[in-house]
A and B are shown apart, each in its own frame.
Chain A
Amino acid sequence: MNDKPQGLAAARLIYQDRTKRVKELKAQGRKIMGYVCLYPPVEMMTALGYVPFRIFGRYGEPVSAADTVFTPVVCHFLRSMIDQGMKGNYSFLNGIIGSHTCDIGMVAVHIWKDYIPEPNFVYFIDVPHTDHLPAQEYFKRQILDLKRKMEEFAGQEITDSMLADAIALHNRQRQLVRELYELRKANPSPLSGTENLEVMVALCSLPVEEGNELLQQVIEEVKERSREQFDERARVLVWGTVLDNNALLEVIEESGASVVIDDTCVGTRAYWDDVPIGGDPWEALARRNLVDLKCPRTYRQAAFGQLKRDYDTDLDSQFAYLKRMAKDWQAEGVILQSLKYCDSHGYDVPGIKHYLDTLGIPSIYIEHDYTEGSLAPIRTRIEAFVETIKV
């Protein structure tokens, strides 16, 4: 019997020090590939033997170095990420793949290229902002270009069978994550939103095989938890920008709500859809990451090139998945949260609010800025929102 922490305890340790494990692996000769947002295909990194490592900022640490290259009125997450890069905290990476997630994301990758010497390999993948067929074809070409650059850098080709194996491993991870989320449909949910986030952060800090093993342990542990008595807390869905830290979820859960489901990118967005297998794997990657992956940075029109004004159909084509999530997890309210200056998410808020209003699901919109200080005035609003649901 080894006394190494397992399951949720292991996830928490990785959450608290996310670079520890990859640095260990690096010392043993593994190569680590950093990536920004969800658009660079992790399957390609795994196929070439890289550990995919998602790059975040450092929540709450004051930005100092990045102020010379980034104006303060941009996304605080990306500002903090560049700040960490400039402070040398990501120099252990062998390479970085960034993407045109949003305009600031595009600029951030190039700032990285221009101002941060390490790592040397910095690739920028262009991602179209709609999901039409021509956009999918364009994105596939981008992925194939990334393939060539990665092969050149690694000195090794990615064969279709290597890619297929990697896709299978990552699909397995997605399946396990969905299994874990399935357990949260219970009332009360046996897993809190903050515990869940610790697991999700751990997954993007580990090789996929280790992540899958961790997930299996967590699922077993959560299944064994005894049902507590009826939970009076309001079940909420949390939508919005990247949450790589528990501070906001803690405020929500301390305010008498239970986070049972999320639509965020260190959560369901990363794991909800598999890469389809059977056909052209490169096309499958392009389709999965552009069409199936749902971030507001990609606009989904109901119909391509249609002139008719059809707000409700457009809203439904964009947000029907949220309706299903809210229904399946019995969410009594939705907390729409966004980091300040996130245009992609901000522009979607009036539409989502309108959509949720028509469904009779209460929602609240809050903005924060990647520091705990910004959460103090938000606490009262969230408590009041929970009071309105529970009255």
Chain B
Amino acid sequence: MSYNQTPLYFAGVDIGSTMSKVAIIDDEQNLRAAVVGPTGAEHRRKANQVMIEALGQAGIPLETVGYIVATGYGRLNVPFADQQVTEITCHARGVMTLFPEAQSIIDIGGQDSKALRVGNHKVLDFTTNDKCAAGTGRFLEVIAETLDLPLSDMSQISLKSSRPVQITSICTIFAQQEVIRYLSEGTDLADVLAGMHDATASRVVRMARRIGVLPPVVFTGGVALNPAMVKAMEDNLGFPVLVPSNPLITGALGAAVIARDKYHQLAARGRAPAVNARRLEEVDLFGGGAGK
């Protein structure tokens, strides 16, 4: 297969802590496939499965993919990628592709949250939470498990609140105890849940304000699918946020856009990667596989 064969596609593979995402675009940057699958303990090394599904959705063979960029927490577990780029750069690129006017991005994922200031196709500044579940999707999951409620119900009930309670603890475990205490005192469930969403949003917004937040703000990550969180975020910021139709895929999309750039840069110098050398194999974490 030669490099100048058309059409060419580009893929971004985003292995997050909870979900694995693949985006495939064509040379005009149209999205041809967007697949989201669980990461999990076993799937961590099975980025190939999500990729195979995405290739199926796009209806293309692997050999037509000119360049692949891996990103996210598990970016080193993608043996068929040509390059690794951090999720911070990829998210920014994906969001700026969808919303060129964006100035700030807030992303809340399964295990981390991040805030970025962007402009001129560049990341101007960014910050991330360190290693605490508060202010991440994991916090919402812990509360949902405690209350034995599906996440979607939790969000809908929360939206009915008229007087949200104040959750003051910033620690997930203490906040969980606070939620239980409110409920045992007979506080309305909607008000407790609204308070919990508010506490999460408030924590992330405070983190974002350390680097400055300018509208328009784009809210991404799995947690942006939760309408109660979108409302809490808007309440805390004091203005509306933009949410992409598929807020989970922005990192993978950005990785695909970077892959396209990279391919053209290399091709211009006659150094495009050999596309037929790739193998869609599982990663063996105990020797061999990626990085070996």
A residues with a Cβ closer than 8 A to B are 362, 367, 374, 377, 380-381, 383-384, 387-388, 391
Q: Is the C-beta of B123 less than 8 angstroms from some C-beta in chain A?
A: yes
Q: Are B130 and A384 in contact (CB under 8 A)?
A: no
Complexed CA–CA distance, A135 and B208 (Å): 40
Indicate which residue in A362, A367, A374, A388 contacts B89 across the interface (CB closer than 8 Å).
A388
Q: Are A388 and B123 in contact (CB under 8 A)?
A: yes
**Nearest CB of chain A from residue B273's CB, rounded to whole Å:** 18
Instruction: Give the interface size class of chain B.
Output: 10 to 19
Q: Are B131 and A384 in contact (CB under 8 A)?
A: no
Q: Is the C-beta of B86 less than 8 angstroms from some C-beta in chain A?
A: yes
Indicate which residue in A362, A377, A381, A387 contacts B85 across the interface (CB closer than 8 Å).
A387
Complexed CA–CA distance, A367 and B126 (Å): 15
Q: Is the C-beta of B87 less than 8 angstroms from some C-beta in chain A?
A: yes
**Nearest CB of chain B from residue A339's CB, rounded to whole Å:** 14
**Nearest CB of chain A from residue B89's CB, rounded to whole Å:** 5
Q: Are B122 and A391 in contact (CB under 8 A)?
A: yes
Complexed CA–CA distance, A381 and B131 (Å): 13
Complexed CA–CA distance, A362 and B124 (Å): 8
Q: Are B89 and A381 in contact (CB under 8 A)?
A: no
Complexed CA–CA distance, A367 and B210 (Å): 15
Q: Is the C-beta of B134 less than 8 angstroms from some C-beta in chain A?
A: no
Complexed CA–CA distance, A377 and B112 (Å): 10
* Chain B binding surface, main DSSP class: mixed
Complexed CA–CA distance, A108 and B88 (Å): 40
Q: Are A380 and B89 in contact (CB under 8 A)?
A: no
* Chain A binding surface, main DSSP class: helix
Contacts A380-B87, A381-B88 given; does A387 touch B123 at CB 8 Å: yes
Residues of B within 8 A of A381 (CB): 88, 126, 128
Complexed CA–CA distance, A384 and B254 (Å): 14
A/B pair count, beta carbons within 8 Å: 35
Q: Are B131 and A388 in contact (CB under 8 A)?
A: no
Tell me the residues in window 72-126 of chain B with beta carbons closer than 8 Å to chain A beta carbons: 73, 85-89, 112, 122-126
Q: Are A383 and B86 in contact (CB under 8 A)?
A: yes
Complexed CA–CA distance, A236 and B131 (Å): 25
Indicate which residue in B73, B112, B124, B126 contacts A384 across the interface (CB closer than 8 Å).
B126
Beyond the given pairs A387-B85, A388-B89, 13 more chain A to chain B contacts, judged by CB atoms under 8 angstroms and listed by A's residue number, are A362-B125, A367-B130, A377-B128, A380-B86, A380-B88, A381-B88, A381-B126, A383-B86, A384-B87, A384-B123, A387-B86, A387-B89, A391-B122
Task: Return the 3 tightest CB-CB contacts between A and B, nearest first.
Answer: A384-B88, A384-B86, A387-B89
Q: Are A388 and B122 in contact (CB under 8 A)?
A: yes
Residues of A within 8 A of B128 (CB): 377, 380-381
Complexed CA–CA distance, A374 and B88 (Å): 19
Complexed CA–CA distance, A388 and B88 (Å): 9
Residues of A within 8 A of B73 (CB): 380
Complexed CA–CA distance, A380 and B124 (Å): 16
Q: Are B130 and A387 in contact (CB under 8 A)?
A: no
Complexed CA–CA distance, A374 and B126 (Å): 19
Tell me the residues in window 161-182 of chain B with beta carbons closer than 8 Å to chain A beta carbons: none
| Least CB separation from B211: chain A residue | A353
Residues of B within 8 A of A391 (CB): 89, 122-123
| Least CB separation from B91: chain A residue | A384
**Nearest CB of chain A from residue B13's CB, rounded to whole Å:** 16
Complexed CA–CA distance, A384 and B87 (Å): 8
Complexed CA–CA distance, A156 and B128 (Å): 56
| Least CB separation from B86: chain A residue | A384
Complexed CA–CA distance, A387 and B121 (Å): 13
Complexed CA–CA distance, A391 and B126 (Å): 15
Complexed CA–CA distance, A388 and B117 (Å): 12
| Least CB separation from B124: chain A residue | A388
Residues of A within 8 A of B122 (CB): 388, 391
| Least CB separation from A384: chain B residue | B88
Residues of A within 8 A of B88 (CB): 380-381, 384, 387
Q: Are A377 and B130 in contact (CB under 8 A)?
A: yes
| Least CB separation from A387: chain B residue | B89
Residues of B within 8 A of A377 (CB): 112, 128, 130-131
Residues of A within 8 A of B126 (CB): 381, 384, 388
Complexed CA–CA distance, A384 and B85 (Å): 8
**Nearest CB of chain B from residue A158's CB, rounded to whole Å:** 48
| Least CB separation from B111: chain A residue | A377
Residues of B within 8 A of A380 (CB): 73, 86-88, 128
Complexed CA–CA distance, A383 and B84 (Å): 10
What is the 8 Å Cβ interface bit string for chain B, positions 203-247, against chain A (1 contact, 0 not)?
000000000000000000000000000000000000000000000
Complexed CA–CA distance, A354 and B126 (Å): 15
Listed by A's residue number, 6 A-B pairs whose Cβ atoms lie within 8 Å are A381-B126, A383-B86, A384-B86, A384-B87, A388-B123, A391-B89
Complexed CA–CA distance, A369 and B106 (Å): 27
**Nearest CB of chain A from residue B222's CB, rounded to whole Å:** 18
Residues of A within 8 A of B125 (CB): 362
**Nearest CB of chain B from residue A383's CB, rounded to whole Å:** 5
Tell me the residues in window 125-166 of chain B with beta carbons closer than 8 Å to chain A beta carbons: 125-126, 128, 130-131
Complexed CA–CA distance, A240 and B110 (Å): 31
Complexed CA–CA distance, A381 and B128 (Å): 8
**Nearest CB of chain A from residue B62's CB, rounded to whole Å:** 27
Residues of B within 8 A of A388 (CB): 89, 122-124, 126
The listed residue with most B CB atoms (<10 A of its CB), out of A362, A367, A377, A388, is: A388
Complexed CA–CA distance, A362 and B211 (Å): 12
Complexed CA–CA distance, A374 and B130 (Å): 9
